[in-house]
């Protein structure tokens, strides 16, 4: 069920499963939590001093998400003689960019804690296992 294309996307012939969508939202959420945590630490370090900080751009955040998701595939794919998935179809990068848009528009995201990360590690485990199973089915 989680590997079958979900309805709004399948109407247009786009194969996006729910687990891929959850994985994209999870990655973008974790990256935003890390960026906000680092920004808060930077604010505490500077104290009362007024230090100008470059405002985060959406393009940089989206490129970071894509690099984390597809960087290893882009490096290893040519060595294995397998074209990277984002070369064959732009659906997966589009899902990650859309997830980045959604996460950026959420007003407040809770900071990382043991209780949230422990429960969400199950999601990470399933998405990682499905990624590995997808790679082994290519060979």
What's the rounded Cα separation, in Å, for the pair 136 and 139? 6
Confidence of residue 139 (pLDDT cuts 50, 70, 90): very low
Per DSSP, the three-state class of 5 is: strand
How confident is the model at residue 104, as a pLDDT?
Answer: 92
> What value does the mean pLDDT of the chain take?
81
* Number of CB atoms found within 10 A of residue 26's CB: 16
φ, ψ for residue 10 (rounded to 5)? -70, -25
Average pLDDT in the 16-33 region?
85
Say if 93 falls within a structural domain. Answer: yes
Question: Which candidate, 104, 94, 95, 99, places its Cα nearest to that of 55?
Answer: 104
> Residue 56: pLDDT above 70?
yes
What's the rounded Cα separation, in Å, for the pair 7 and 5? 7
Say if 133 falls within a structural domain. Answer: yes
Q: What range does the domain containing 69 cover? A: 7-138
Average pLDDT in the 20-40 region?
87
Q: In terms of residues, how long is the chain? A: 139
How confident is the model at residue 135, as a pLDDT?
Answer: 47
Residue that wins the pLDDT comparison between 72 and 132: 72
In this prediction the pTM is: 0.78
Say if 61 falls within a structural domain. Answer: yes
Say if 2 falls within a structural domain. Answer: no
Q: How many domains does the chain divide into?
A: 1
* Number of CB atoms found within 10 A of residue 139's CB: 6
């Amino acid at each position: 069920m989680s590997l079958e294309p979900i309805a709004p996307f399948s109407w247009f012939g786009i194969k996006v499963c729910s687990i891929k969508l959850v994985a994209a939202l999870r990655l973008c959420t974790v990256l935003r939590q890390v960026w906000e945590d680092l920004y808060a630490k930077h604010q505490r370090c500077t104290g009362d001093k007024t230090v100008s900080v470059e405002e985060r751009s959406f393009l940089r955040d989206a490129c970071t998400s894509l690099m984390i998701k597809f960087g290893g595939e882009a490096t290893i794919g040519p060595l294995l003689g397998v074209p990277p998935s984002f070369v064959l179809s732009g659906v997966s990068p589009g899902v990650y960019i859309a997830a980045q848009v959604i996460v950026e528009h959420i007003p407040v995201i809770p900071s990382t804690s043991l209780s949230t990360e422990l429960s969400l590690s199950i999601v990470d485990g399933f998405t990682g296992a499905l990624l590995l199973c997808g790679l082994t089915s290519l060979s």
